[in-house]
Amino acid sequence: MEIDPVSDNKFTAKCRLLQTTYRRDILKEPCGNGPSENSDSKHGNMLINGKVTGSNFISESAFEFAKQKSLDKQIIKDLTIEEYRLFNNMLSSMPMCFNLFSDLRKMLLTNESEVSNIIKLMFKEIDWIDKVTYIDIEFIPTPIKDYTNDKSAFDALIIVKDKKGKKGVISIETKYTDLLGSNTSKNSDTKNKIVQEGNFFDEQLMDKLRLKGYKQIHRNFILTYAYAKKNNFSNWANVIISPEEDYLSIKEIAELKQHMTKYDNCIFKISLEDIVQRAIGIDNKEISDLMTNFHNRYINFN
């Protein structure tokens, strides 16, 4: 028997049904327990033994890179990867991010120019991309004390060069049904210093952050700024990729921009639907087919 939460909002319920149907009809696998490893209840979006089957991933490249990142946690202690969620929760944005970028990361090893063209099309809002030099997933800048001194991380990271050879960084936050976190960071001294020195928020927001702490949208933006500054990147952008129906992220970005004194063009949202449609339309059958599979897995509600 599959038990799904009655607390789901309309969009989450629609996504959970899509994942349940995909698991049952495409993967033809029984449902597992969730949302955590020790949960007793079964949910339609949960897999069984996904770390062995790889069923939460739409390509072998994504599965292999996810396993590697899970192993990396042994030596990078600040990584916040939740293994059970990564391999078994079909609603999680974590495996979704691996599904979105792992094959491009692998292709970069042998065909930089092709990946560069694809990324330029997927992120056409960014006009300073010329060559892609690096792609990573679940990336945390270390040592953390040199940045924001918390465990904030990038779901994905893309390093590029512009036409003059100057480096730039794109930090990416991916969301599916989960929302930008409202929990605030406890270690605020380092972030307070970065915000003070950067002078990119007005006094009203700075006072509020000092008093109430930093939500995820603030932490991601500040970490991107700090990473770009420390590594001498000339260009940088913090991009949220989430479904069109994620209206909260649009609201949070708009509210943040109202209190920005500069760099307000460095944070924006691209809908998951737009990113995927752009990738489907490219002249590369391997990636186009992969993104078609991605579309069917995550956003084909018809």
For the segment 28-32, the average pLDDT, to the nearest whole number, is: 96
The answer, yes or no, to whether residue 289 has pLDDT greater than 90, is yes
pLDDT for res 5:
67
Q: Helix 189-198 and helix 203-212: axis angle, to 10°? A: 170
Q: Does the residue 2 lie in any domain? A: no
| Residue in 120, 59, 98 with CA at minimum distance from that of residue 275 | 120
- pLDDT level of residue 277 (50, 70, 90 thresholds): very high
pLDDT for res 73:
87
pLDDT for res 186:
61
How high is the mean pLDDT of the chain?
93
Task: Kindly list the distances between the CA atom of residue 112 and the CA atoms of 67, 104, 116, 117, 149, in Å, as whole numbers in the listed order.
Answer: 24, 10, 6, 9, 33
- pLDDT level of residue 7 (50, 70, 90 thresholds): confident
Q: Which domain holds residue 80?
A: 10-298
For the segment 226-248, the average pLDDT, to the nearest whole number, is: 96
pLDDT for res 112:
97
Give kind and range of the element (H or E) at residue 192: helix 189-198
Q: Does the residue 185 lie in any domain? A: yes
Dihedral in degrees, nearest 10, Cα atoms 278, 283, 285, 291: 0
Distance linking the first and last C-alpha atoms of the chain: 25
Q: List, for residues 112-159, the tens digit of each pLDDT value.
A: 999 999 999 999 999 999 999 999 999 999 999 999 999 899 999 999
- 210: Cβ–Cβ under 8 A, 6 or more apart, which residues? 188, 192
Instruction: Give the DSSP letter string of 83-128.
Output: HHHHHHBTT-HHHHHHHHHHHHHHHHTT-HHHHHHHHHHHTTT-TT
Q: Does the residue 59 lie in any domain? A: yes
Please give the DSSP secondary-structure letter assigned to residue 31: -
Q: What is the sign, positive or negative, of the torsion defined by CA atoms of 214, 217, 218, 221? A: positive
Which residue type does 125 have? E
Q: List, for residues 178-206, the tens digit of each pLDDT value.
A: 877 655 666 689 999 999 999 999 999 99
pLDDT for res 302:
82
User: Is the whole-model pTM more than 0.75?
Assistant: yes
Q: Does the residue 225 lie in any domain? A: yes
Rounded-to-integer distance, Cα 83 and Cα 64, Å: 14
The answer, yes or no, to whether residue 1 has pLDDT greater than 60, is no
The answer, yes or no, to whether residue 94 has pLDDT greater than 70, is yes
Q: Does the residue 216 lie in any domain? A: yes
| Weakest-pLDDT range from 4-13, 64-73, 180-189, 203-212 | 180-189
Q: Does the residue 58 lie in any domain? A: yes
Decide if 35 contacts 46 (C-beta within 8 A): yes
Rounded-to-integer distance, Cα 111 and Cα 215, Å: 38
Q: Does the residue 4 lie in any domain? A: no
Domain tally for the chain? 1
Rounded-to-integer distance, Cα 139 and Cα 141, Å: 7
Q: List, for residues 37-66, the tens digit of each pLDDT value.
A: 889 999 999 999 999 999 999 999 999 999
| Weakest-pLDDT range from 38-47, 101-110, 174-183, 209-218 | 174-183
- pLDDT level of residue 284 (50, 70, 90 thresholds): very high
Q: Does the residue 218 lie in any domain? A: yes
Rounded-to-integer distance, Cα 160 and Cα 103, Å: 17
pLDDT for res 79:
84
